[in-house]
Amino acid sequence: MNYRWILLPTPDKESIERLSASIGCSPIISQLLLQRGSTSYEEASLFTNPLKGQWHDPFLMKDLDKAVERILSAKKAGESIFVFGDYDVDGTTSVALMSEYLKGLGMNIHTYIPDRYKEGYGLSIAGIEEAVNKGCSVLIALDCGIKSVDKVEYGNALGLDFIICDHHNPGEILPAAIAVLDPKRTDCHYPYKELSGCGVGFKLIQGLQQRLGLRISELMAYTDLLAVSIGADIVPLTGENRIFAAQGIEVLNTKPRHGLAALMEVSKKQGYFDIESVVFQIAPRINAAGRIDHGHIAVELLTTRNVLLAKELAEKVNKLNADRRTYDENITSQALKELEGSETKASTVVYNADWHKGVIGIAASRLIEHYYKPTIVLTKSGEVLAGSARSVHGFNLYDALEKCSDELIQFGGHAFAAGMTLKPEKLNDFKEKFEAVVKSSLREEQKTPKIEVDIPLKFSDINLSFYNTIQRFGPFGPLNMNPIFISFNLKDCGSKHVGADNKHLKLELVCNDGIIYSGIAFGKGHLLEMVQNNPIDILYNLNLNTYREKSSLQLMIKDLRESDVN
């Protein structure tokens, strides 16, 4: 796949020099800090020390005081509380966090994760009726509920009080809950808008902790769950999320809960776990529970205090994750065959009644790696078709589906990922409508993926001290990505194929000043001849590669092309 290389704007020279003098750093570091919004010594110090960041006052969030009062009145009266959450990582970590905290207050708690296939996403009638049958008087909905107006009304009629903790965009009408906690409410003035669902739940327990006069530092033990939710849900790694993530990663690597420690062990990854490790090692295994079996397994894993049970459950979700990979590979392979000859279409919509519903979202992401287009993968789900959609950079998928809403039973999600259901007889009409909407609104530059490049580097700029400074820019993630550098006019001095079927490249490159660095370029094996016979430009991150207790800097190549520098 070809990429557009977009070099980020360079801050003005005066600002770079001023910040460099203020904090005593190189102009390169100063430029990188300015690109991330740090314009002074104080801002740079806070940015590079997220572990020391302060949490916002939770009572700045609309309705949080009402939620705290209702829970404390339930505690005083001995009422039971029903903790309901979505079946994905954000939802299950939210339920684990809330239920563990409330049980620690001595409250009677029941937890519930909806069945992905029988109930679908969000608050369900079955869940509400279960809460009533359990004798609960309060239902806390986590990572869902902001648009469940009818279901909340149904639950209210049965005597349930609702507390909604969500982070998705609200509709025009809010549910008639005792409290609706969502920083994206237009009337909510909470200073940080991009919390995960688990993050909203955390603000509620922070409010409870403050109101009860308990030590806020005790809540640090919950930040490992927060970090996992933040990494898995692809929320921005800025502001309070970045503070939570840094603190949670610290807990994850020093004193993780038994379930996460067991997941880290079965992942076979050695050494330090960062946000990338969460995304690729921990999150898929937790997600596999809800995708292949049931999300309550993940909640049990994340809350158990029994080491042996944690190991047993971690092995179980590890096996479910292996099954998930097999389903994913089979769906992607079948879909690619079906899509042969469809290159001229603006969108991708594929359907097969036998595909596993829990994996179609992952398959949609895989298809975008082959055909960079807004993509929907559909399968049969009872009497209807269920779909999962993924978008390309800059194209608002939610808006596109809204224009197709006449063909759908329901849909939900956000700009980059969404789900929907439709009647089988509407499939062709929906495909035509979605294709027409995408074709009319997809801009030319959105048809090719882009890589944003922070700054040009010479090999002489790279050393261990520079790498260590860059690491203080983490945790990395959306809106705070690991810096990508560009180097020009490099020559080969021993590059070769590596990996099965020669799929990858092990690069040995020398720049004009004679300095040599090694790099790895995954999936670029077909470019070896070009590398060997032409000067090249490369885009890359820096990585510390440790082998047999020896560490060296390595270039992690994002893309490369023949140089046009003479």
Residues 138 and 272 in one domain: yes
Q: Do residues 489 and 511 make contact, with C-beta atoms less than 8 angstroms apart? A: yes
Is the per-residue pLDDT at 281 higher than 90?
A: yes
> Same structural domain for residues 245 and 346?
no
Q: Give 435-453 pLDDT, tens digit per residue.
A: 999 999 999 999 999 999 9
Residues 280 and 341 in one domain: no
If asked whether residues 375 and 486 sit together in one domain, one would say no
Using CB atoms within 10 Å of the CB of residue 565, give its burial: 0 to 12 exposed, 13 to 18 middle, 19+ buried.
exposed
Tell me, what's the pLDDT at 414? Answer: 77
Q: Tell whether 237 is covered by a domain.
A: yes
- The answer on 474 and 510 residing in a single domain is yes
**Could you please report the per-residue DSSP string of 227-265?**
HHHHHHTT---SHHHHHHHHHHHHHHHHS--HHHHHHHH
Nearest 5°: phi and psi at 166?
A: -135, 165
Q: Considering only CA atoms, which of 506, 508, 510 is closest in space to residue 491?
A: 510
For the four alpha carbons of 538, 540, 546 and 550, in that order, the dihedral sign comes to positive
* Position 88 in a domain: yes
pLDDT tens figures, 148-190: 999 999 999 999 999 999 999 898 999 999 999 999 999 999 9
The two tokens of residue 481 are: 């990505």
Report pLDDT for 565.
66
Interval 312-326: pLDDT, tens: 999 999 999 999 999
Could you read off the pLDDT of 512-557 as tens digits, one per residue? 889 999 999 999 999 999 999 999 999 999 999 877 778 889 999 9
CA angle 167, 169, 170 (to 5 degrees): 105
pLDDT tier, 412 (very low <50, low <70, confident <90, very high otherwise): confident
Full domain range(s) for residue 374: 334-447
Quote the pTM value.
0.92
Contact 160, 132 (CB under 8 A): yes
Q: Is residue 548 part of a domain?
A: yes
**Domain for residue 422, yes or no?**
yes
Judgement on whether residues 482 and 370 belong to the same structural domain of the protein: no
pLDDT of 566 > 80? The answer is no
In a domain, 546, yes or no: yes
Binning the chain into helix, strand and coil, the percentages to the nearest 5 are 45, 20, 35
With the CA atoms of 559, 562, 563 and 564 taken in that order, what torsion angle do they form, in degrees rounded to the nearest 10? -130
Indicate if the pLDDT at residue 99 is higher than 90.
yes
pLDDT at 351: 97
Please say which residue of 317, 343, 377 terminates a domain: 317
Q: 248, 199 in Cβ contact below 8 A?
A: no
Quote the number of domains for the chain. 3
Q: How do residues 21-43 score in pLDDT, each as one tens digit? A: 999 999 999 999 999 999 999 99
Q: pLDDT per residue over 55-81, tens digit each?
A: 999 999 999 999 999 999 999 999 999
431, 291: one domain: no
317, 348, 377 - which closes a domain: 317
* Residue 521's CATH number: 2.40.50.460
Predicted confidence (pLDDT) per residue in 196-213, tens digit? 999 999 999 999 999 999
- Here the CATH number for the domain that contains residue 250 is 3.90.1640.30
Q: Which tokens go with 376?
A: 């929907």
Q: Which of 447, 463, 478 is the last residue of a domain?
A: 447
Residues 142 and 214 in one domain: yes
Tell me whether residue 295 is in a domain. yes
* CA proximity to 64, closest of 212, 259, 196, 207: 207
Mean per-residue pLDDT over the chain, rounded: 95
Residue 50, domain member (yes or no) = no
Q: Specify if 222 maps to a domain.
A: yes
Q: What's the farthest any 2 CA atoms get from each other in the chain? A: 79
User: Does 461 lie in the same domain as 438?
Assistant: no
Question: pLDDT tens for residues 361-402?
Answer: 999 999 999 999 999 999 998 899 999 999 999 999 999 999
Asked whether residue 298 falls in the same domain as residue 210, the answer is: yes
534 in the same domain as 552: yes
CATH no. for residue 371? 3.10.310.30
Question: Both tokens of residue 544?
Answer: 């510390």
Angle CA 504–539–463, to nearest 5 = 100
Helix (H, G, I), strand (E, B) or coil at 489: strand
Q: Quick one: 391 and 349 in the same domain?
A: yes
